[in-house]
Structure 1
């Protein structure tokens, strides 16, 4: 059986070959350019090195008329100067501000003011006198106001939006700074022109407000217990390396004292072609594209620079135990130091991580989570260029001490060191990784991401292509030897305890005068980009009658879409019964994973699925309970049969139920310690009132009284209810229907579930504040307002409004609250389409800001809602973005089926995008003004606010509306 399964996998994944020499670097020349490639590479990546040293990596695929593009620099916080930590991250923000050609109305005049600001910041940084510093900052603020009159904020984002870009962003980590855009393939010439200009001569304009955004990002990290744990772990593992000596976002002291001169030095040192890569995957001709890239970036000149060097760390000879205290739930994090990513043992480290936890049959999975000895546990390798970490995370069950958690994890490490794991586990892991590689190569965005990471991590792509073959050479004794070599009493453990944070650091709010954004202006460069010709893609709309094959299995409808790309299948049984019918059903769904049958234990069931590279799980939502079965088509019948036999023969396990109830009680307590969960609960309260979807739960007492019998009954009866069977896979519908009729018995008539609990959105008739106290630095505020029932005819206007008002970096909300006023790092405002035809649209806005900016932040959002600025150019951009998104969106695979089901829920029998596309060009400013006036302007809102009662002003909250302080029990219902 094992040989048959493995041979099938090798057959299905044709690019995998047993012979290592099938993966070799080759060289070829076309169109005057030489490139390298790796034989049998599934993503067919080409690696070019241009004359100036710029690396270009191209991976063509024609599935979608789009490209994912990265401009990656092999520099990050590791190479920050010790005197200016956070600098690489600062610089990433400033690369969105434009150059001397765009982002400016009058560069010559703006330049004079910016040079004054540069000099003032140098004075500011050298001064230690608070009074002098405040006076200097007043000058910075004043001159920034003058400079901003010549600046145009967010021209980069507007250019990208105009060409139909999605996901425009950037990120910085230890060893990489990466700029990312997903654009229509027809806009490639525009994209290259913008990127080439972007890196030519960046201008660090509108700096002090962007600096405030970085301050806000720092404050968010101060509110994150997980980030504090991460930083504490790294600082104790790496005493001589910048992985541990400094963080990516930098220290408060350095953030308070930025140097534009040092930022420019960093740019000139590392942003050179011999340290940069352009990575693109998607719909293009690589022979043509390389010519365009070369032409666009040939102006760049290479420059030698010293690479980061470091001293070797002293060996850890004993455990280092540290504590982090904060409001979030308790946990234990353990790290073992490993070699850098080019060491021969890294491949073993990857496999060790999977042996410890793979979600199904790892040592932590089977021995700790499945046996409910821990609430959660995981392990993975975190590999960087110079060092790596084997990273463990574990959360306690009810009543467990953190020392007990640590001992349980360490015990599994001992089992690993002693070889106490299934001999077949390595083979099963490799089989499942092969399946993951299929998924990895399917989407152009995934291809580009993997190639980009390999580039910035300085990995040999040949080894990445040969990864599975290399794993296949590893034996159990190699794993045991690795574990005994690296996993001794040489770890750092961080005990995350629950309590009031002792953190006293906080970046105080400076006095900032809002700067001009000149949102209605446009530079000549932007106009030139608009004039570059592009052949727009034609939209492809779904025809539900043609794109979905339909059949019947008993009384159930079968919906299928054929997978013509590979041998992956995904099968779902979607039962029309959920928690709104039966609150106990969700617990029954969870119970399944801990149960065995009359012939197999739950551990054996998990291994059986994992060994055939398949998976199953059951999830219960509000209205549906869904069974997911996925894997390789070769093993379709085995997987479905194994699932059906498991469900039919489940045996009650009282110890498992006791553990399940305990873990649910613990998870409930943990959720009350999570500010995101609290804000989600407040939002539901605002939408539905005191009894709402979020707090519709079993009480703790009801939970503890549940019996195995009633849960097993629910599991056994689930197949009696109305169901839709959804299949995406390589087999055509008649064959799959025939197979399923034998494997899955559907009743001729469905049972009727309990009546569904109905929740009706409330109409806000007065301003109200729902407040909950939480130990945090920032304040988080949401605006909620229910409006009117779903209307297909309004969908085009809704999409345009969201793009125009608050849906991206070029929107009014972002430009005003973050760019102009520097009041928040994260802010947005959306008009949300309901999921059902009988539900209401609702508005949800958000600002996360320092508490001392709360008044200004809420006032600014309200001003935008009540008096939305009318900028015709932005409206055209918003309309264009909607059209471009639809033109280049290709709904494929099982997404076709879910698009159909979602449309049915809205009472629509067609692809909604077609109506939107046909009407969006007709929308004018009057339509937008009327929409905003009738539904949002000067209307009552419910404000959901999470903040520290010690820091936030109750007086200011009262000005917003009547304040209702909610307890956690009121929010959560338990």
Structure 2
């Protein structure tokens, strides 16, 4: 479960509510009745959202999208860390975790026998909460652990996940943030009754079982945050910006002190206070009948009783009169953040202006930061954006230094762009372009059920949906903003009233970790099923028939010179996506990725690089050149009405880009700094270790240019690569509203393909190595946790094994209801994140790999490794879980709809594996015939009692080399060996 929801700018949240038409529309609230229920809606709302308020105060918001036979569901509570008691921070987040543990009806073998133990545990935690003597606390915790083990004998771990997986739900998750707790499911459209039955029971009277092991998972989540420099910077920024408001004074995950002293009674009080219908909303977007669904929701949740909610009374923060300077230390790359406190979502006018100002500064193409800083390579990277909450918003400027540059210099450059904004030294026509690009985003956003549901829920959290009219008209309102208003807004809010935060490289001497308590593994009762689960599984559901791709019918083919054309028509809207796909990448030419990146800094004989960015932004189109290891893709996208302009402009750039030595010098410096920063990032290090384990010392991850090679590159070399690119073998892919012939003709006007194309250069080949004996690859990193990957390569790809591999992954370690997750996290509380799966290669001559992972506290590493090894060597049997995995896989296939240009890319992926048909059809036909014995035999042949390479990233201050030697020969791998430079 994600702790901090990804911040989405107001523009992106509301772009799905703008109008498609160029002329402004009339938006107003209307009321209508259908199916016996009255609802409100906004005229000209492209989502056609219906807003219902049930008799008990529960808000229900529905949006129909018939694209796929699935529905994105969100159940939201307007309560987060803002609402935590001051002496129990992190409580809302605790509760979110506990809402997955079941009720009296599910998650329990025998509630009458389980309850006395849970009551005793609650009392013991209350005692623990009020005990300060360390010896006495250990005694109480030992009692908690002992009684929890007895209670667990009556618990059914992960029964909620089994319920959802059994009905074909995907994306089971939840998150807590400052003003919200949101529960997420993506369900097949034929299981609405089942889904609502489970959710109504789930929120009726949740039981806080298996608490001490779940608490340990939260400890792990806290420790992961302590290893995350960005998280630490974020929290310090908020605490500095909001010295009295809970935005800054109560972190979502809570303080270490409060994590160590939880109160089940306080959690129950929080639930009773905030999980009430007046404070909750159910949002559903997708393939649904609103009249039927509202009846179902009303019936399922009618038990809820209206109850007033005491909302958080936000203090008024005193103005910041001078810069507040803070520092964060840690091992990751340095950067600088400048954050301003701004008006919140309820100040609609300011919110509109803030969104426009944010885009004027940074829109990815033509903003002040884009043109004046990023295009001119004055820093490694710079960005800006707004994070909008109910009471206040946060606007921040962010920058990373290039080689030889100080963070203070980066700060001055960022503030300099604010001065330009305040003086009005920007093109006023940019506002029109901002609106056009928002309308493009709207078309794209409407295709996604998740975007629809998230936008609707965001409106409920901020203002209970009452301002939906404002949200729907938001982009039109942006179009009314004048240059003078932007200047006035900037001068009003951007002064010396900011928090300046330097993230510096160095040891964090203040860091603490949540110590590991003594936990005895608890029962998970895998084979057990509640009566409730059986009843839900037996509820009738109409059958959804799977739809298979027929590559011969679903894709039209043509020729453009010597290039193949692959075509699928867009019959839904006016968007197009055009691709030139080359079967070559860095394995064919190490300079190709550099040339692709270099292009963004080049101009032509007619346009500067800044003018090209402006032109693309003005016509609301995008281009990108992406060079991977074995495929390079050029993409051009936007509105079909601007197709000719976009393609013509890109082709002109590619053919006529002029080598620029000054730009190359700056680019080389940025590449060198980016490479150095990458070596500071633990995620990249672990990824490199895994590649080393999989392929050996020479591997795809470290297939990099040496510093000498990088220094020797000339501007002409890179320009020549770009100019020559269309001469190599490639295919043309078009998805858009034009017919095939019209599309070919339109592309042909600009993209001239010779009669004979050059063959691609021979690629360097990377073969996976055999793991002949156990080995440990260790790299030292200053961190609280330890992270461990298991790697083992097995056989060459066999198409006939696909169904068996999918069944194994679904059962063994691919999701929250799997054997691995249940054992490592739910039973033994050894990790927050863990998985294990059999990785399928992407080409027919490549090999499978076994990949497993555990991220745990360093002092639990040995236990975590042993726990995973037990599972790798002996796969536990659970017939019930196996059947759930089977049904989940079948329903995933039944409700999956591969559409749009996804059809073409699915075809290309199948072709790479040597397939000429939709492999899902074969998998679907084989699923019912796969038995546990088949999976067990597969496990024994490929996984059990086999040698592995352990990739371990940890602080050598916290792990013992002698411990590492228990698992195999130890090799300490340097960063130079991992990264290749």
Instruction: Pick the TM interval, shorter chain.
Output: over 0.9
1:906 aligns with 2:910: no
Q: In the TM superposition, what whole-angstrom CA distance separates every residue of 1:401-421 from its partner, at most 9, and x where no partner exists?
A: 010000000000100001111
**Structure 2 equivalent of residue 431 of structure 1:** 436
**Structure 2 equivalent of residue 512 of structure 1:** 519
Alpha-carbon distance between aligned partners in 2 of 1:119 and 1:593, rounded to the nearest angstrom: 63
**Structure 2 equivalent of residue 125 of structure 1:** 129
Alpha-carbon distance between aligned partners in 1 of 2:869 and 2:909, rounded to the nearest angstrom: 33
Secondary structure, counterpart of 1:345 in structure 2: helix
**Structure 1 equivalent of residue 341 of structure 2:** 337
Alpha-carbon distance between aligned partners in 2 of 1:708 and 1:347, rounded to the nearest angstrom: 43
1:113-152 alignment to 2 at 5 Å? Answer: 113-152=117-156
Report how far residue 619 of structure 1 moved: 1.1
Alpha-carbon distance between aligned partners in 1 of 2:395 and 2:858, rounded to the nearest angstrom: 38
**Structure 1 equivalent of residue 375 of structure 2:** 370
Alpha-carbon distance between aligned partners in 2 of 1:495 and 1:124, rounded to the nearest angstrom: 39
Secondary structure, counterpart of 1:795 in structure 2: helix
1:469 aligns with 2:446: no
**Structure 2 equivalent of residue 693 of structure 1:** 700
Report how far residue 705 of structure 1 moved: 1.0
CA RMSD of aligned residues (A): 1.1
1:187-206 alignment to 2 at 5 Å? Answer: 187-206=191-210
Q: In the TM superposition, what whole-angstrom CA distance separates every residue of 1:773-794 from its partner, at most 9, and x where no partner exists?
A: 0000000000111101111111
1:73 aligns with 2:80: no
1:451-470 alignment to 2 at 5 Å? Answer: 451-458=456-463, 459=465, 460-470=467-477
Alpha-carbon distance between aligned partners in 1 of 2:81 and 2:700, rounded to the nearest angstrom: 43
Report how far residue 754 of structure 1 moved: 2.6
1:442 aligns with 2:434: no
1:721 aligns with 2:724: no
1:33 aligns with 2:37: yes
Contact map agreement 1:74 1:275 (CA 8 A) in 2: yes
Contact map agreement 1:577 1:721 (CA 8 A) in 2: no
Measured at CA, do residues 541 and 57 of structure 1 come closer, stay the same or move farther in structure 2, by a change above 3 Å? same
Q: Note the residue ranges of structure 1 that are not aligned, 5 or more in a row.
A: 1-9
1:227-306 alignment to 2 at 5 Å? Answer: 227-306=231-310
1:482 aligns with 2:489: yes
Alpha-carbon distance between aligned partners in 2 of 1:861 and 1:103, rounded to the nearest angstrom: 25
Q: In the TM superposition, what whole-angstrom CA distance separates every residue of 1:24-71 from its partner, at most 9, and x where no partner exists?
A: 000001122110000011111000000000000000121111111111
**Structure 2 equivalent of residue 579 of structure 1:** 586
**Structure 2 equivalent of residue 103 of structure 1:** 107
Alpha-carbon distance between aligned partners in 1 of 2:781 and 2:508, rounded to the nearest angstrom: 11
Measured at CA, do residues 14 and 312 of structure 1 come closer, stay the same or move farther in structure 2, by a change above 3 Å? closer
Q: In the TM superposition, what whole-angstrom CA distance separates every residue of 1:655-684 from its partner, at most 9, and x where no partner exists?
A: 100011000000000000000000010010
Aligned counterpart in structure 2 of residue 395 of structure 1, from 380, 400, 403: 400
Aligned counterpart in structure 1 of residue 571 of structure 2, from 564, 587, 593: 564
Secondary structure, counterpart of 2:700 in structure 1: coil
Aligned counterpart in structure 2 of residue 23 of structure 1, from 8, 24, 27: 27
Contact map agreement 1:46 1:57 (CA 8 A) in 2: yes
Q: In the TM superposition, what whole-angstrom CA distance separates every residue of 1:829-858 from its partner, at most 9, and x where no partner exists?
A: 111110000000111100000001001100
Q: In the TM superposition, what whole-angstrom CA distance separates every residue of 1:944-970 from its partner, at most 9, and x where no partner exists?
A: 111000001212211011110011000
Alpha-carbon distance between aligned partners in 1 of 2:41 and 2:935, rounded to the nearest angstrom: 51
Report how far residue 14 of structure 1 moved: 6.5
1:834 aligns with 2:851: no
Alpha-carbon distance between aligned partners in 2 of 1:310 and 1:734, rounded to the nearest angstrom: 61
**Structure 1 equivalent of residue 754 of structure 2:** 747
1:733-772 alignment to 2 at 5 Å? Answer: 733-772=740-779
Secondary structure, counterpart of 2:749 in structure 1: helix
Secondary structure, counterpart of 1:960 in structure 2: coil
Aligned counterpart in structure 1 of residue 314 of structure 2, from 307, 310, 313: 310
Contact map agreement 1:318 1:491 (CA 8 A) in 2: yes
Q: In the TM superposition, what whole-angstrom CA distance separates every residue of 1:728-780 from its partner, at most 9, and x where no partner exists?
A: 11111011011112211011111133311000000111011111000000000
Contact map agreement 2:334 2:401 (CA 8 A) in 1: yes
Alpha-carbon distance between aligned partners in 1 of 2:118 and 2:941, rounded to the nearest angstrom: 43
Aligned counterpart in structure 1 of residue 360 of structure 2, from 355, 360, 373: 355
1:551-700 alignment to 2 at 5 Å? Answer: 551-700=558-707
**Structure 1 equivalent of residue 170 of structure 2:** 166
Q: In the TM superposition, what whole-angstrom CA distance separates every residue of 1:89-139 from its partner, at most 9, and x where no partner exists?
A: 000000000000110011011000000000000110101100000000000
**Structure 1 equivalent of residue 10 of structure 2:** none
Contact map agreement 2:27 2:42 (CA 8 A) in 1: yes
Secondary structure, counterpart of 2:424 in structure 1: coil
Alpha-carbon distance between aligned partners in 1 of 2:155 and 2:694, rounded to the nearest angstrom: 41
Task: Single out whichever of 234-243 and 422-431 deviates more from structure 2.
Answer: 422-431
Alpha-carbon distance between aligned partners in 1 of 2:540 and 2:468, rounded to the nearest angstrom: 35
Secondary structure, counterpart of 2:385 in structure 1: strand
Report how far residue 19 of structure 1 moved: 4.5
Contact map agreement 2:820 2:836 (CA 8 A) in 1: yes
**Structure 1 equivalent of residue 813 of structure 2:** 806
1:525 aligns with 2:529: no
**Structure 1 equivalent of residue 710 of structure 2:** 703
Secondary structure, counterpart of 1:834 in structure 2: coil
Query: TM-score normalised to the size of structure 2?
Result: 0.97
Measured at CA, do residues 504 and 609 of structure 1 come closer, stay the same or move farther in structure 2, by a change above 3 Å? closer
**Structure 2 equivalent of residue 5 of structure 1:** none
Report how far residue 501 of structure 1 moved: 2.1
Alpha-carbon distance between aligned partners in 1 of 2:205 and 2:673, rounded to the nearest angstrom: 54
Secondary structure, counterpart of 1:181 in structure 2: strand
Contact map agreement 2:835 2:854 (CA 8 A) in 1: yes
Secondary structure, counterpart of 1:922 in structure 2: coil
Alpha-carbon distance between aligned partners in 2 of 1:434 and 1:151, rounded to the nearest angstrom: 51
Q: In the TM superposition, what whole-angstrom CA distance separates every residue of 1:514-536 from its partner, at most 9, and x where no partner exists?
A: 00010110000111101110012
Report how far residue 510 of structure 1 moved: 0.7
Alpha-carbon distance between aligned partners in 1 of 2:336 and 2:794, rounded to the nearest angstrom: 45
Report how far residue 874 of structure 1 moved: 1.0
Aligned counterpart in structure 2 of residue 791 of structure 1, from 772, 794, 798: 798
Report how far residue 492 of structure 1 moved: 0.3
Alpha-carbon distance between aligned partners in 2 of 1:455 and 1:549, rounded to the nearest angstrom: 44
Q: Note the residue ranges of structure 2 that are not aligned, 5 or more in a row.
A: 1-14
Report how far residue 916 of structure 1 moved: 0.4
Contact map agreement 1:851 1:952 (CA 8 A) in 2: yes
Alpha-carbon distance between aligned partners in 1 of 2:182 and 2:606, rounded to the nearest angstrom: 52
**Structure 1 equivalent of residue 6 of structure 2:** none
Q: In the TM superposition, what whole-angstrom CA distance separates every residue of 1:341-375 from its partner, at most 9, and x where no partner exists?
A: 11121110011111110111111111111100011
Secondary structure, counterpart of 1:659 in structure 2: helix
Contact map agreement 1:334 1:391 (CA 8 A) in 2: yes
Report how far residue 453 of structure 1 moved: 1.2
1:381 aligns with 2:381: no
Q: How many residues align?
A: 963
Report how far residue 17 of structure 1 moved: 6.5
Contact map agreement 2:519 2:828 (CA 8 A) in 1: yes
Alpha-carbon distance between aligned partners in 1 of 2:443 and 2:176, rounded to the nearest angstrom: 28
Alpha-carbon distance between aligned partners in 2 of 1:14 and 1:44, rounded to the nearest angstrom: 12
Runs of 4+ in structure 1 off by over 3 angstroms are: 12-20
1:964 aligns with 2:968: no
